[in-house]
Structure 1
Amino acid sequence: MGAAVWLRSAGVSDALSLARLHHAARAAAMPGLREAHGIDDVARWIATVLMVRHAVRVADHGDGPVGYIGYGQDDRHGPMVLHLYLDPAWTRRGIGSRLLVEATAELGSRLSLFCIARNAGARAFYESHGFRIAATSDGAGTEEGEPDILFVRDGAAPVITRKQAGATP
């Protein structure tokens, strides 16, 4: 796993790999999470909704994706990170930071996102990148039935740059 990781735009051919990664990351971070959709349904949604309406960037090491981010404009919340998932074997290597820099470079530093409340690793990651809790829910309106958090980062928050994240322009 010492291979270099580069970022690229996602293509429809990535959808199944990203769906598998999505499920693996969530299972590792939140054991026992009730997945509302199987891998094939998630792949279909990634290819026909996420990739069509929003930007999707992939972290790749040559043998396939090790992470991805989906981001864009949300009608209610404005600039938003919609998905950010890493292969559990590739966490804590700066890849998530690099992916977040991609969204920031395109959308600006004011971003929002939702995070399942019990995902302690994701919460710590977002808080370390200047996000703060704006609202919480009891999970009644979520597909997983899990309490969630709306995180926001305003334009004044410290932002990791591409250089700091080890990314190349």
Structure 2
Amino acid sequence: MRYLLLLAVLLVAPSNVLAGQPAWPDLAPLLGQPKDSPAVVAMVRQQALSETTKGPSGSFSSPDGSWSMLYESSRIKTIVLRVSPPGEGSSSPERQTFAPPLPGKLTRQDGRAQVVQKLGQPSRPDGDQWLHQGLVIWVFFDQSERQINELYLWQQEQAEKP
């Protein structure tokens, strides 16, 4: 009987529930890939991502809202990781946080000082972007700069903004 119940759960559960959130090392290679490449298509299917388009640009978003892949000219340009719960008055209070380990050994609890300690000095005068292993990491802190809210990541050779 337990096996039948397990089989029933496997048949009706959305694939993203079974797959869980992908690890950063599985997402990083998708940067720069065409949105219709086998690797991107496989991730979209495995994670049951929804697509929003606006001309040649758009995004693939996780069902729980914890991460997205943004594309421009049909190539994945930016990955957004939402690492803190939505704030009060958020338009999407049901959104989940990205739980797998973050790039650069960052954690949600890292403030600006800890990010500088882990990644070095910021690469821009505004102090919110760091270069790390060929990536630009744009860190969005909470208002007190005591924890990370979101990370935007893209390949270093791309333009300044995602």
Question: Structure 1 length normalisation: TM-score?
Answer: 0.28
Report the structure number with the largest CA radius of gyration: 2
Bigger relative CO (Cα 8 Å, ≥ 6 apart): 1
